A and B are shown apart, each in its own frame.
Chain A
Amino acid sequence: MKALVLFTMMFCGLVATAQITTLEPGATAPGFSLKNIDGKMVSPENYPDAKGFILVFTANTCPYAIAYETRLVELDQKFSSQGYPVIAINPNPESLSKGDSYEKMQDKVNEASFSFPYLLDEGQSITNLYGARVTPHIFLLQKEDNNLKIVYTGAIDNDTEDINPDKIKYVENAIASLEKGEAIETASTKSIGCTVKRPAIE
């Protein structure tokens, strides 16, 4: 019996790391309360006036995440006043990615002038609930009654290197549709970036 329990536990552990399911548009967004770089806890519930959130899983050293830092600050500046502030979560555990330590997250906020919370996800529980795959990985959330609903997932735009003036701005387009009460034309795109660091499957 003991062996069976042990076996079941091992099996569960295996499944937990092997199968990451990314939540899709239409799904209810899991709530969270995570520690910001100033030590204070941040939760979507702290924003009674928000209509939704631009939730982004992003990290310190990934070149894709770095390429989008300025655009995240711009998104926050443009949309927090319209009711859609940015909340960033670092999905990478320090044990697997030294450059993603809590101290280095504090440095990042100063250096990149983040105007939004940058949260530590100890144990990767929120990262795994959303099924974040890469950094940066966007989940656009909309408030619906007392719940948050995912309305868009994927990339910020289709031009990481920021050289095409005619780039498609997926997040901005999605918010524009929400504001007009229209259906979002592109509700999901491929999330492009560095793979979220997860413990290896043994």
Chain B
Amino acid sequence: MNDIVTTKLSKSFGKKAVLKDFTATFKAGKVTNIMGSSGCGKTTLLNILMGLEKADSGRVSGVPNHISAVFQEYRLCEEFSAVSNILMVTGKRVKTSEIERHLRMLGLGDSLHEPVQGLSGGMKQRVVLVRAVLHNGDVLFLDEAFKGLDIDTKSKAIIYVREHAQGKTIINITHDLQETAQMGGKLIKMENQ
């Protein structure tokens, strides 16, 4: 597994420059937290790294093909259950019982087979965390992955991610300094352009 390196990345939407000559190295197998005020380009950076957006200029290297993500939105198939949503990304590689065990770890034991459209925001957030962890990508992109969780659940969720994504490259976008301390690793502060 290689380090992910961005070199002089720039991206504008219309006349608004969101990223300007952004250069950074995300160490392989380590956690990198990214903080910065709203609109400073954190999500755009993640989208470029995930291949969802193209940078206007600059270079990205070291992103493997097999990646996992927690997006800012849940991006769940609302008609399907939590277990089914995770099966969608894992396929038969992960057994249903294993998925259920992981969801129970985050306190979702009562809602395993309910359509996710009936779950609360916090519950959906935990489902997408388990989905990203069980997908078992080499890199885990987390875009405000712990938002909407109460303090206890958030701590549990962070411990869950740290334990089950150990040894993977984790890029974690957050607004919460305490969260970065719990996640460990490096901290990059991004500025508005």
Q: Do A and B come from one complex?
A: no
Chain A interfacial positions (CB closer than 8 Å to B): none
